[in-house]
Chain A
Amino acid sequence: MMKSDIKLINSEGKRLDGRGPEDLRKIKIESGVLHRADGSCYLEWGGNKVLVAVYGPREAVPRHCQNPLRAIVQARYNMAAFSVEDRKRPGPDRRSVEISKVISEALERVILTEQFPRATVDVNIEVLDAEAGTRCAGLTAAGVALVDAGIPMRDIPVACAAGKINGQVVLDLGKEEDNFGEADLPVAISPRTGEVLLLQMDGHLTMDEFNKAFDLAVKGCHIVSDIQKKAIMHKYQAVVAAEVQE
């Protein structure tokens, strides 16, 4: 199918799933969902379903990977075999290794790693159901899981993508938009300072379009950031309320 064959956005600015150009898909975040993990988060973002567990800080093994001055952050992004249209072979492929690396580096920037020399913070991201934008969903969920694990951080990292479909810049690409659109720009920021933690782009954008898409993605990040904070508040308000009752 040719790119131009598909009308991803109509003249009234409505997208295939009925969203306007600056609308996010529906996001649901729940923190503290796993029993064994030190911190965890379940996130639904449109058709994406992501589960994140944080373990640590704990001793990094094997020892040669320890850093004597700070903790290392090891994120591991993994897709379930049944999360995609055609079954994915289990285990890491080149794509998930790359995503794991950029997410690790993004998280390392906000975690106070200098407090835990020789330790590791392990962030396990499992994509259970995939529908475009899994790395943003994974990083956003990782932010909440790190808070749930009580890892000291400068800020709660958050991610959101913008892109270009049928010549128009839009927020948060859906499945068809990702496949047949012209560009995709995932961005992760530290919302308090606006520092960019992760930035990738593929496709074709002019300078103006890039600026517009970047601003839009950052705007999306702030919206998602509020949802993250609500999820954390919701969990811990319940905990505090239970303690008060006792």
Chain B
Amino acid sequence: MTIIPAIKKDYITKLAEQGKRVDGRTFDQYRTIDIETKVVNKAEGSARIKIGNTQVLVGIKMDLGEPFPDTPDCGVLSTAAEFVPLASPDFESGPPRENAIELARVVDRGVRESEVVDIKKLVITPGEKVWIVFIDIHILDYDGNLFDAASLGALAALMTTKVPILRFLQSGTLEKKDLETWYNNTSIKDIIDLYSIPGLDEFIASKNKEAPTDIKDIPLPMIEPPISCTAIKINDYVMFDASLDEELIADARLTVATDHKGDIRAMQKGLSGSFSREEIQKVIKGALDNGQEIRKQLYAKIGK
């Protein structure tokens, strides 16, 4: 711990004894969350998340490529985080350090293990050609709680992602026969029917080689996402959505992802402190309540 957080620690813990926080929030309360989607035109999907002063931008790009040899019938997900020096006086340029890698892996796990993106439906020819989904997380302003901001950003960006079928057809990377094999795979038919792509049926049935320009890109196949909420512990006080000052002096951190049914989908503890059983339950309860609120806000924004 450097000098300034050590000085601030006194102040923060004294306030915590009175049940208060520096910015006037209660222990369970999040800062104002702002979700903005479709912010980057060149990306297949994108979202900017603000939690208080923390700001994260997530962009989704898609490409065609080979699946991993051990999962020939699954599309590929790839998550990377950049802690660009724009976001904090302490971030330096260069290859990702351990904190950037941890963040990317936690977000990746949240998306992958919850199966929120149905990667089985992203297979064109098993073992040969699948869609690759790149999730790139850009930290723009760092004021604590990157875990929640980045996870929420990844979800919002994925939910607004359009599979760029037309662009790949036009560039020739995706051929008509690919579309046929993909389409004949029943599961993708479900999505295509669901979102009904005008012109695609006719195109596949026809003898035309040239792609018609009125084919619409389809959304990514997705299910209800779990929402991650992170709490930290300072002395014996557990508080949600830590600001940077709080985060720097935290003893322990716990992230809990809960789904729309109220089940727990993922957890990750961090830092060197410990939690008691009661504290963990308190965090789960808080994660559920806050998760519901955030989910409502996310749906309102995505229009679902």
Contact = CB atoms under 8 A, between A and B. Distances in A.
A90 B82 contact: yes
Given A51-B140, A87-B134, A90-B136, A129 B42 contact: yes
Interface string A127-145: 0111100000000000000
A53 interface: yes
A90 B80 contact: yes
Interface residues of B, number: 34
B89 A129 contact: no
B89 A86 contact: no
Contact of B84 (A86, A126, A129): A126
Nearest to B136: A81
Given A80-B40, A82-B46, 14 more contacts: A34-B140, A35-B141, A36-B141, A49-B40, A53-B86, A81-B136, A82-B43, A86-B61, A87-B134, A91-B94, A124-B85, A126-B86, A128-B138, A129-B42
A208 interface: no
Interface in B116-142: 134, 136, 138, 140-142
B93 A78 contact: yes
A58 interface: yes
B236 interface: no
17 contacts: A34-B55, A34-B140, A36-B141, A51-B140, A52-B86, A58-B89, A80-B40, A82-B42, A82-B44, A83-B59, A84-B42, A86-B63, A87-B63, A90-B82, A90-B136, A126-B84, A128-B138
Given A76-B85, A87-B134, A81 B61 contact: yes
Contact of B138 (A37, A47, A80): A80
A119 to B, nearest CB: 13
Contact of A124 (B53, B57, B86, B136): B86
A85 interface: yes
B143 interface: yes
Interface in B273-300: none
B95 A91 contact: yes
> Which 3 pairs show the lowest CB-CB distances between chains A and B?
A82-B59, A35-B53, A87-B61
A150 interface: no
Interface in A86-103: 86-87, 90-92
B50 to A, nearest CB: 10
Interface string B80-110: 1010111111000111100000000000000
B86 A85 contact: no
Nearest to A85: B42
B60 interface: yes
Best-surrounded residue of A83, A85, A86 (most CB of chain B within 10 A) = A83
Contacts of A131: 41-42
A122 interface: yes
Contacts of B88: 36
Best-surrounded residue of A49, A53, A82, A87 (most CB of chain B within 10 A) = A82
Contacts of A51: 86, 140
Contacts of B39: 49, 128-129
B136 A82 contact: yes
Interface residues of A, number: 32
Given A49-B40, A80-B59, A92-B93, A124 B84 contact: yes
Contacts of B167: 85
B172 to A, nearest CB: 14
Interface in B18-41: 39-41
B80 A81 contact: yes
Nearest to A122: B85
A45 interface: no
Interface string A45-80: 001010111010010000000000000000010101
Contacts of B142: 36
Contacts of B85: 53, 55, 76, 122, 124
A91 B60 CA distance: 17
Contacts of A36: 53, 87-89, 141-143
A55 B85 CA distance: 9
Contacts of A129: 39-43
A81 B42 contact: no
B198 to A, nearest CB: 24
A18 to B, nearest CB: 18
A55 to B, nearest CB: 5
Contacts of B84: 78, 124, 126
A85 B87 CA distance: 25
Contacts of B53: 35-36
